[in-house]
Amino acid sequence: MNNRLENLNEVIIESNFIPIFITQIKFDGLSDRRLFLANQEIKKFVRKNNYKIVLLDELVQVMSEGDFFDDVHTTISGSEKIANIIYKHLEF
């Protein structure tokens, strides 16, 4: 994952844009160890490079049973909940 993040960082620098990273969640929170570790790596990368991040994995308190079609894909209601959380943390 580190190589991919470093490659992404090169593109960010070359393109001269300001990224906003968002950690991810699944239907059952963070019971998935790989997802937890990926989010941790993204957080370290963001701190190291002083990028903005929305800590969705820390901000989402409760998702309802009907908020996901499957393990990772949200329904309309789930997407709306996540969008409302993300929106509050964006700067305009």
What pLDDT is stored for residue 53 in this prediction?
96
What pLDDT is stored for residue 48 in this prediction?
96
d(C-alpha 32, C-alpha 72), whole Å: 11
What pLDDT is stored for residue 39 in this prediction?
94
pTM: 0.86
What pLDDT is stored for residue 61 in this prediction?
80
Domain boundaries, position 83 = 2-88
The CATH number for 81's domain is 3.40.50.1110
pLDDT, tens only, 5-57: 999 999 999 999 999 999 998 877 657 889 999 999 999 999 999 999 999 99
Number of domains in the chain: 1
Q: Is the pLDDT of residue 91 over 80?
A: no
What pLDDT is stored for residue 51 in this prediction?
97
